[in-house]
Structure 1
Amino acid sequence: MATNITWHAGLTHAERSELTGTKGLTIWLTGLSASGKSTIATALEQYLLSKHVPAYRLDGDNIRFGLNKDLGFSEAARNENIRRIAEVAKLFADSTTVAITSFISPYRADRDTARKLHESANLPFIEVYIDVPVEVAEQRDPKGLYKKARAGEIKEFTGISAPYEEPEHAELHIRTDKISVEEAVIVIADYLKEKSLVSI
């Protein structure tokens, strides 16, 4: 860890928010692979942008192939993956952008750390549990990952050979085997409006 650095204070979040007219926050989508996280995140990002709310989606496609390309899938690597994502999401939120993360993030402790990181900076953190029975996720299996996990080709696979710890205090719980992507987006958007986090 570097010791010869000094934090350089700039504009506060409140000052940025006053200048941009928007508030920043992080929407943290968590759930099994193939639960629908990325699909919902993409649709939510598009919806918010269409309403002129600055939003940006963070998921495996733009994190695992870039910032976190040096990380594997051991428990320690997963922990570091989520730690980095939480820090990046916090920066987006502080910039008055809505950060939308869609990661399995299987461990409660890691998600709680992400929440505390935001709370310490007075930034809203909305945990959304994208829930689906593992049997349904396996039937979807768009990337063939469950099939590979069952065949032993993937050693640490959440829901099969590695644990997923369900959220205990998520702000929203969405069952994607019961509602559509469009309905899920409206559920999240309505919550944001109800809490006065966005103006749409």
Structure 2
Amino acid sequence: MKIAVVAANGRVARKIIAEAVNRVIEVTAFGRHDENNTEAKDYRKKDILELTKEDLQGFDAVVDAFGTWAPESMGLHTTTSQHLADLLAGTNTRLLIVGGAGSLYLDKEHKVQLVDAPDFPDAYKPVANGMAAALAELRKRTDVKWTYVSPAADFQADGARTGKYILGGEEFHTNGKGESVISYADYAIAMVDEIEKGSHVQERISVVAE
């Protein structure tokens, strides 16, 4: 199997690359910076919006790990994911998005999202809404084999790698302790599992730690 990871020097991306490399998956990393801070042997300096169809040919899957916290840049979540979708449209290459938790639904009717909850932190609302907008645009695409992977609400950069997680769908869910938490390392396991299995094409899935 051969995959590409875009925005590869980010912390989540590095965990995904490490997990894939550990499973002997061939990884090509694309990043904006000169240095390769990942475990991928093949690193190519290129911004997401500079990528072409030729750059992404021959991969079984492309992982979009783009992220930004700058309020003025929230639209880039949609711009970048749609650019990748355009490049992969009509191909068998899957597009997997490192998503957010804010767009998970709190009701079975799928009318109320986590970001709408009264206790949702104001500081996280811009990025939650930006990522939700990107997901909404992806849902309109039937020409791309996309999968959007939402982490738990408490997404821990330095959390332990337990090797276990609970897979969910569109709705906010917790583990047996009533917690919505997952480490970057366990999220990476779930992401690579989905890459290998390909079970949720044109769907959003979500993961929490056991």
Structure of greater relative contact order (alpha carbons < 8 Å, 6+ residues apart): 1
How does the TM-score come out when normalised to structure 1? Answer: 0.48
How does the TM-score come out when normalised to structure 2? Answer: 0.46
If each structure's strand is expressed as a fraction of its own residues, which one has the higher value?
A: 2
